[in-house]
Amino acid sequence: MKIAICDDEQIFRDTLYKKLVKYNKTFEIKEFRTGRELIDSRIKFDIIFLDIEMPELNGMDTAKKLRKLSVGSIIIFLTSHIECIQDAFKVKAFRFLSKPVQEDALNEALEEAEKEIVGQEKIVINQKGKIFELSVPDVMYFEAFGDGTYVYDNKDNVYECTVALKEWDKRLEGMPFFKIHKSYIVSMMYVSSINNNVLRLEGVDQDFTISRRNITPFKDAYMDFVKNNSRVI
């Protein structure tokens, strides 16, 4: 996930950076001192932490310019004042965080933002010329067959496509999926149990075997997924 921190205070950027890395060490984080630097970067970020009280181009005006450029990133404003909440609706702000940012509030905002991002992402399937768009939370697993795949959703639909499982593995990078075996990619959102190298998915009446070389990487990835998507400690 790509994250931008836009704040004119170096000390604050450093502090927020450390808290973000603590939450998830795989985040790609880039820092900006001004709104103009952020706009000129033209980088597509998933989440932008944007300070409102910045000189020259303040955070609210920066957000307006980003939206005019059709930037769809989640924007989380950083501020010591909440008076501008009305303007925040105009730029589709996700939420405000008061400075100095408390770790619990930051973690909660990140959890909700990640759910929002996953919910917006689509998986496009071309089934014999007919196009289907599935929301990421609806897809349970992929199964290889010949040179193509079957895609299973949570409504008992099965879609057939000519995209190889290896290619799906590349396309799904950054999403909550894992290739557990040469024949299967599963959604970590539906894992109900893991027993040695046998995995079960909610609502699916079959066992999935995790290949020997993927057991440890999968369990590590799954634990990170659980930590980042659950309030359970």
116-141 pLDDT, tens digit per residue, is 877 677 899 999 899 998 988 899 99
CA distances from 221 to 23, 26, 41, 75, 120 (A): 14, 11, 31, 27, 22
CATH class of domain segment(s) 122-228: mainly beta
Q: Which of 58, 63, 60, 1 is nearest to 28 (CA)?
A: 1
| Pair 81, 99: CB distance under 8 Å | no
Segment 37-46 shows an average pLDDT of 94
Average pLDDT, the chain: 89
Average of per-residue pLDDT across 171-177: 87
Residues 51-55 have a mean pLDDT of 90
Using the predicted structure, report yes or no on whether residue 198 has a pLDDT greater than 90. yes
Per-residue pLDDT averaged across 50-66, rounded? 92
Map out the domains of the chain as residue ranges.
2-119, 122-228
pLDDT above 60 (res 83) = no
Q: What is the pLDDT of residue 231?
A: 38
DSSP class of residue 214 equals G
Q: Model-level pTM?
A: 0.60
Q: What is the mean pLDDT of residues 36-44?
A: 95
> How many residues are there in the chain?
233
Overall fold of domain 2-119: Rossmann fold (3.40.50)
Write out the E strands in 68-157: 74-79, 95-98, 122-127, 130-135, 139-145, 148-153
Q: What is the mean pLDDT of residues 168-191?
A: 92
pLDDT band at residue 89, thresholds of 50, 70 and 90?
A: low
- 161 Cβ contact list (under 8 Å, min separation 6): 125, 126, 127, 148, 149, 151
Nearest to 27 by CA among 174, 157, 130: 174
How far is 229 from 233, CA to CA, in rounded Å?
11
The per-residue pLDDT for 10 is 96
Place of tokens 């004119």: 8
- What is the pLDDT confidence band of residue 70, given thresholds at 50, 70 and 90? confident
What integer is the mean pLDDT of 46-61? Answer: 92
The larger pLDDT score, comparing residue 109 to residue 225, is at 109
The per-residue pLDDT for 228 is 64
What span, in angstroms and rounded, lies between the C-alpha atoms of 124 and 131?
A: 7
Alpha helices in 35-150 (DSSP H): 35-41, 59-68, 85-90, 103-120
